[in-house]
Chain A
């Protein structure tokens, strides 16, 4: 029975995340003839004396020789975990758990208006925003009929102006007068929390498509 190939680790710290280099393989960019880029094979790794992976153990050994060893791990930092990056181009945020990452993504990238980059907290509010701010047909219709929909899901009431809707929200639904997602158009200013990533998941055209 043959042995698997034995590879010495490059003297690169394993913690740096660099890929292991296979010295016998030709340039990795060239695919084999069948186009299959997968090439995993079990590797037995031999570590030479000076390898970075041996550093901490060597240091503890020498502290022991010098009578400075302690078994209590002082300076114990919390366990380091691999990070998750936000994949939206232009957003360089990193998170230490999937939950945090998903919260970030949902809060800042999911319901983003492709026209003005504003981020809305839900698909419904995004729809309403796009309709009211970027749909010229809406502006025309609004002159003749009540088009401003109450923001509270299930209420269904419509109003002739944005101000009337706002008053309704404050009076009936007890909303604060400065509710961030109901800025009247003339107050427009870019809120500080919006992330200007390019990856908008929604657009005017997309919305129409979705309605089919």
Chain B
């Protein structure tokens, strides 16, 4: 349902005022950051009604308490107007007071389940709509009240209908994080095999694929029993499907790819054994997808929401690289293309999204730490100068860039003279003066490796005033830094003495 050719601000928040929306977003962001610190980062999704989506206007909700009871009574009586009452009920249930009324009313859920499983197709759809509203509630007791319906929801996942299935999926997805007990029950009821068969049956419908991805991601974000969940998922056909849906669709947009990518990210970063995922081509697919997306970034104005897909893909690649054999990296050209793609992302996201730029640099570090071919690629693709230009930028970016340069220097000593010509030594003369101790340390390490390569490099360094820079560093607060600087000063002095002999 989130057709992401273009992400637009939902007016669900009853705010057409852009400033109020911004305020809401800022508040929500604060809440989310705190939730993450508490390891309680969880979100639910609410489907809009068709008419809401079309007009872009959310409907007014009437005060619900009285209506709930009267609607339930009408529904209990049965008759031909069930549909009308159910529709009214589903609208009323958006209000929290109505929700509380509902769960307090005797046999309300039993009634709803009856309509959910009855012979009237339209009533089924409306009944699941009601459940969906309840599942979205932040109130645990309201959401938990949906539990009697879940076996049916799971059964319906293997059915052929799309809209209905979507609603079932998002309802289940909202229920997953409600509590440990709810999650255990869903697992026992077979939610993972149900998701797998749903994905298989409905793989041509990207809205359903997106919904499956969302529900799975809710399970995979769990902290409790995560290893059990992961092994269940890995035993199913889900990973293969997840890997195959990473490309944005020209009509449908990014939605399905985003959910599948986040699922894969949670799978990868929650375990250390990645052989299965590597065997199913996860690293190759994610890498080539990143290469395609980098092309899109350079071509036109930034597509709305692309970062939401680039981010998990980067993380998957970054965390899969440790499990990969170097030979496999070196023999596949996609990784040298990936080097270029990563530099494109670095430039593109540097200002708009510095933390994404930092994650990009992390992946490039892992690539160059692992593969000598990738180190060469950085030089042959003329990416050294752009990297050097990033060295003033903090936020963790210059630290990573220094590591990348250090990887190249240590693995490709024959390229050091070229690196010096491209300005690496001058850049180090600046970074050695920075306040950040980690940067000074890394700069000294790179400098050491460069100085070892040839006397010309030593001479160049002295010409740039390197001796006085090192002298100052010998008074640094940190002992290890002083040690390193002193060692280099002795090395340089040795050379000078040799020259005077």
> What is A's interface to B at a CB cutoff of 8 Å?
1, 3-4, 6, 13-15, 17-20, 28-29, 31, 35-50, 53-71, 73-76, 79-85, 87, 89, 94, 97-98, 101
Q: Are B445 and A40 in contact (CB under 8 A)?
A: yes
Known A-B contacts A73-B352, A87-B472; A3 and B370 likewise in contact (beta carbons under 8 Å): yes
- Closest CB in chain B relative to A27 CB, distance in Å: 11
B43 CB–A CB distance under 8 Å: yes
Q: B interface vs A, CB < 8 Å?
A: 7, 9-10, 12-13, 21-22, 24-26, 28-29, 32-33, 36, 39, 41, 43-45, 214, 258, 262, 266, 269-270, 272, 302, 304-308, 311-312, 315, 318-319, 321-322, 325-327, 350-356, 358-359, 362, 365-366, 368-370, 392-396, 398-400, 403, 406-407, 410-411, 430-431, 433-439, 441-442, 444-446, 448-449, 472, 475, 479-480, 483-484, 487
Verify B435–A61 contact, CB threshold 8 A: no
- Whether the Cβ atoms of A57 and B315 lie closer than 8 Å is yes
Across the interface, do A68 and B24 meet the contact criterion of CB distance under 8 Å?
Answer: yes
Bound Cα distance from A153 to B393, whole angstroms: 42
How many Å from the CB of A51 to the closest CB on chain B?
8
A37 engages B480 (CB within 8 Å):
yes
**Are B322 and A40 within 8 A (Cβ)?**
no
Q: Which of B36, B266, B392 contacts A59 (CB 8 A)?
A: B36
Interface pair B396/A64, CB less than 8 Å apart: no
Assuming the contacts A14-B358, A42-B368, A81-B392, asked whether A54 and B315 have C-beta atoms less than 8 A apart, the reply is yes
B472 to chain A, nearest CB (A): 5
Closest B residue by C-beta to A40: B445
Closest to B305 in A: A71
Would you call A62 and B437 a contact (CB within 8 A)?
no
CA distance A48 to B226 in the complex (A): 14
Partner pick for B435 among A68, A79, A84, CB 8 A cutoff? A84
Chain A contacts for B484, CB-based, 8 A: 37-38
User: Provided the pairs A14-B396, A47-B269, A79-B351 are in contact, do residues A84 and B433 lie with their beta carbons within 8 angstroms?
Assistant: yes
Contact check, B28 vs A66: say whether CB atoms are below 8 A apart: yes
Count of A-B residue pairs with CB < 8 Å? 206
Majority SS of interface residues in chain B?
helix
Distance A31 CA – B486 CA, assembled complex (angstroms): 13
**Docked-complex contact B352 and A53, CB < 8 angstroms:** no
Whether A61 touches B311, Cβ cut-off 8 Å, given contacts A42-B407, A44-B321, A84-B433, is yes
Residues in B neighbouring A47, C-beta threshold 8 A: 269, 315, 318-319, 362
Q: Which residues of B contact A61 (CB under 8 A)?
A: 262, 308, 311-312
25 residue pairs of the A-B complex, CB under 8 angstroms, read A3-B370, A13-B396, A17-B439, A19-B438, A38-B487, A40-B449, A42-B410, A44-B369, A45-B318, A46-B319, A47-B315, A47-B319, A53-B358, A57-B315, A57-B356, A61-B312, A63-B25, A67-B10, A68-B21, A68-B28, A69-B308, A71-B304, A75-B26, A87-B433, A98-B433
Q: Which residues of B contact A4 (CB under 8 A)?
A: 369-370
Kindly list the 4 A-B residue pairs having the minimum CB-CB distance in the complex, ordered from nearest: A56-B355, A42-B369, A14-B396, A40-B445
Taking CB atoms, residues of chain A closer than 8 Å to B366 are 44-45
A97 to B311, CA, bound (A): 31
B308 touches A60 (CB 8 A): yes
* A68 and B41 within 8 A (CB): no
Distance in angstroms between the alpha carbons of A58 and B352 in the assembled complex: 16
- Closest-CB distance, B374 to chain A (whole angstroms): 11
Interface centre among A50, A58, A68 (most CB of B within 10 A): A68
Are A50 and B326 neighbours in the complex by a CB distance under 8 Å?
no
Tell me the complex Cα distance, A3–B394, Å.
29
